Structure 1
């Protein structure tokens, strides 16, 4: 009888009515009744009911979904210091309002007092602080995270560590994750063992973000031995839980052999596809590579085009350049030089150095050749005026060559210098050559040498050749044959036959380096194989006269004949002497 009376009394208490309303809300047939009872309790001032009404409106439980009403009731409960409501306000203010319509998606009358911006990370931090102070571990973790990585006006690294530690001590995996993030935000990744340990705990606790971050540490060897097997393990766990970057990294790792197993192209393609369809541009570009190289499960050029286009749409420079190649070659699409050119321009705008070189070459070719379909004219000036270094370079080339606008060498020199100073490698080379030749600017061999050597340092073969010649001749600075030798070696490694010939000449003697005839013959032969006429003559001469220690009349005749076939009359005397002998 006592228990019966207790249950009867509880049914009329506020808490009992709340429990009954929540019970009805969970049953589809009685959900409207449950919501109606919640509404009466909320109107009477019951804070817990206000929170539940907010949730019901936001989720559409027992009533039509209404984000505006949900926000209004959540704000009311949070203002009354309901911990979960404060936490919910913090989470909501970190992202777009419900329905993703931005602040304009809510009626102005629906925005509670004090909410003027949305999203508003500063206001979110304030609500997270209230919820954290009320003892909610998840809110303590969020507050610590915002103190570590939020807007500058709220950052407090020491307080961030303290709040995340409190959440972690309460058994909240998000606290360990926040603690790791707080450490990593202030340190070189992986250098703090406490951060790595916290990340391990969060990952073991099942948090996918922590699993992804732990995979990253293992892949890159931050704070732990580099271990692609462990990286793949953690990436895989995070990928299974839908973390898009983890899906992309997992797929990329599966493309290569690892300590824990061989490459798995089929599985790699599966995960890369998931990540790409979720908007990951690197995954889309890798899928394009798989199809373009014929390594996909069912390779197809049209698939390569589709994936590259997806990555290009997200600003992936290399994907843009690969699209240009496919349109140029007519692979997977009809050949279209104009579209090839357009994608090449886009790649160059995004900073692809190879595309910059290719685009400059097409600008020159477009001027020198009369194509059936003229290349599209692109006005680079607006982007150049806005400060885009690649556009500055392309505008300079256009002005220099008269492509799409009248020739103006002075303006070309001005824009070329700007592009060079902004770090465009090709522009540094062009600027150096223009200074050397007085092309649109006063001749200055010292400055020219400086710019050409800068471009050479960055690996441009043409710049290596030009800078080596200046060192060889002592133009714009002191003679430096050893330095020239090093630059010629760099250009030769890039396959430049002129550099190979110059190495042969330098090693042949008469310069400020010890002669080495065997090395000279080796380089002459390499340049001869590459079709360099003078090198063919010198290779023939060396082999005919035994200048490097060995005589080979047959090979000498072979190379001299090749030199003559290219019109090099200087080889005729050597050939005649060989024939007469």
Structure 2
């Protein structure tokens, strides 16, 4: 049936995640290739690892569709060939936004401290000063490893010997940590005791890596909570993000929504944009969705992404594959719908296919229905989802075709397609591609919290995870063609 959901869509635990956009386009490929979004630049022919890395940065400097995906493919291919600067770049990407508070997001990359350590250590051993420096930061923060000032200092010293001379000053700061802590406490303790919001936030940032203390997100959250309870809008916004990310507090979407809206009411609109993603998250309660909509209707939220479209996307937040008939089309006569479909409108084609599949106003005909879905498939994720459902539930089941349709739906933006593809890849033993679909789902589910990869996929090596990301990017690039 047209509204029958493929059972495998219910078998996979949802995954979440988000990261921040880096400013790292510091290299330019001066040979200026002709850039086309429909072709992966580094996939057309063999290139040296150095040229691949240069091309990665050049891709990011363009505004072409697929630039980010192409950049990832280039840097991963270069890193897998053993090129140390590319390994350092890949490690840097994997440790983006360690505190989880940055305001941007970058598609396809999730925080992965284990992978970051792996690639940075390879690059550091090969003499890359920036990799050694970033390793020092990870040890200093206890990011993906035990916190150790001793290991951090060793990495910073190595970075200084490899050419990053200023790193030696950080070694001196680590060695003088007790004195710096004493000076910090002397400056702020009295103000903290009196409830001064600036002092409370200074302590919070200090515990998040911006001061003399050893990184401790839980302690940071306690200071932010105190300032937020006192009505400081900056702290309320910050606590909203920490609740969203499970940083120092339990992950709580309802609390995140409430704190970000309280911050907006207090005049801080830095995190308004996150409400767009929260609103589209299937785990958010209807009560919180209503609160966001009310704030948007009242003009309280300033983020254009939230207010310009009146948050209409929520109507499809929990939609099921095979049941997404465009409401506006339902009332059209069959000839009117046919005319629109013949003109090339993908939504009308999906609707018309659904009518043939369900026998609405016409005799049921699965063959004709499939023809209309196929016509819409190049433009429409729903068409691919329905084709996937039809293939998977056929007798005999065609899991290969279903997998291709679900993968296409995933790269076109359908989270259910990503879940189904992840399940089928894992069932077929291709854990790398299953992990790629987990990344896609992580991206599509709103880029909110930490990646929740199914346990069966969590043991992939760093190189396998990089190949998974490469596969996902290549699929997205193929969609641009």
TM (norm. structure 1) is 0.26
Q: Give the structure with the higher percent helix.
A: 1
Larger gyration radius, structure 1 or structure 2: 1
| Structure having greater relative contact order (Cα 8 Å, sep ≥ 6) | 2
Calculate the TM-score normalised by the size of structure 2.
0.29
